[in-house]
Amino acid sequence: MIQTEGLTKKYGDFTAVDNVDLSIPAGEIYGFLGPNGAGKTSTIMMLLGITSPTAGRIELFGEEYTSGRLDLRRRIGVVPEKHPVGMWSWMTAGEYLSFFADIFGLKNPGKRIEDLLTQVKLIGVANKRISEFSRGMLQKLSIVRALLHDPDILFLDEPISGLDPIGIKQVRDLIIAENREGRTIFISSHLLSEMEKICHRVAIIFNGKLLAEDSMDVLLLKLARDREIDIDLEEVPDGLAEEIEKLDFVNSVSVTETTIAVKVPKEGDYRKDISRFLIKKELIPLQFKEKSISLEEAFVTITQDNVKLLAGVGGKA
């Protein structure tokens, strides 16, 4: 659905996007992550045909894509970071959506508008003016507008920004439901816990370069510096943590009530070694649980000091 080769964008001597290759198949929820200034927005602007690449090429739906391909642009839905205000503020939500339905040439759009507003719990304010909407309501209205014409690809830029926990769940459920219908979804967001819940694959861009791209599980495993094994005991004797920390394969140990958290190298399985050690101490492990690194924990490793480490993970895994 989305393919780029050598995608590059320069502004004078500054390279905002540097030779980025993307390949996103149909039906995927794809997360595009990076700190501010990483090149996310510049990449999205090119994918939408708003700006032209300095070098490289873009294909959508297997066809070369340029700003002049209006036939391809009609198959795209976009939720920008900024919401529908300004010139639309005098309209009601229903008028706003009907206006865009006319632009898209939709026939009898009333049922579609009603269904989408119901899904995001805005049906009760369909006759309310946009100027009276909260930021969260505007965000959900923007998503409904993007879905009106039943696009094949949906681009979402910070789709849950400004939403309360209930609103976040509503939008998350809507994204998942739309994806189950076969829609390909490209998301750029800073709310990493949400990206972790819904994305099939994630890409990390930094200083314009694509540093890592893979399925969530594989990417988190590669970005993890070590593994954490949590062991539950009936009680933790004094000095046990210090003894475990002296084992050759242990990086660090911490204790919370009756749980010992042992960090070990990510290569290898050390559960048997830890079990033998505890049994020799006449301690019976009640439970072993491996704690996975979260996307947020992985993301904070994107700093100038460890770009080489991330680059070693590979742009395409």
Residue 288's closest CA among 241, 240, 230, 247?
230
The pLDDT score that the predictor gives to residue 304 is 42
Q: What is the mean pLDDT of residues 8-37?
A: 92
Give 185-197 pLDDT, tens digit per residue.
999 876 677 787 8
Domain residues of the chain, as ranges? Answer: 1-75+151-225+301-317, 85-146, 227-287
Most confident segment among 28-37, 149-158, 284-293, 307-316: 149-158
User: Are 1-75+151-225+301-317 and 227-287 the same fold in CATH?
Assistant: no
The pLDDT score that the predictor gives to residue 195 is 81
**Fold for the domain defined by 227-287:** Alpha-Beta Plaits (3.30.70)
pTM (predicted TM-score): 0.74
CA distance 107 to 299: 45
The pLDDT score that the predictor gives to residue 157 is 87
State whether CATH 3.40.50.300 applies to domain 1-75+151-225+301-317: yes
Residue 69 has pLDDT above 80, yes or no: yes
Residue 313 has pLDDT above 60, yes or no: no
Residue 303 has pLDDT above 50, yes or no: no
The pLDDT score that the predictor gives to residue 55 is 96
Residue 76 has pLDDT above 80, yes or no: yes
Q: What is the mean pLDDT of residues 200-205?
A: 88
Residue 288 has pLDDT above 80, yes or no: yes
Contact 245, 252 (CB under 8 A): yes
Residue 123 has pLDDT above 90, yes or no: yes
The pLDDT score that the predictor gives to residue 151 is 93
Mean pLDDT computed over every residue of the chain: 85
Q: Which long-range contacts (CB under 8 A, 24 or more apart) does 277-283 make?
A: 277/244, 277/247, 278/231, 278/233, 281/237, 281/240, 281/243, 283/233, 283/237, 283/240
Q: What is the mean pLDDT of residues 304-312?
A: 48
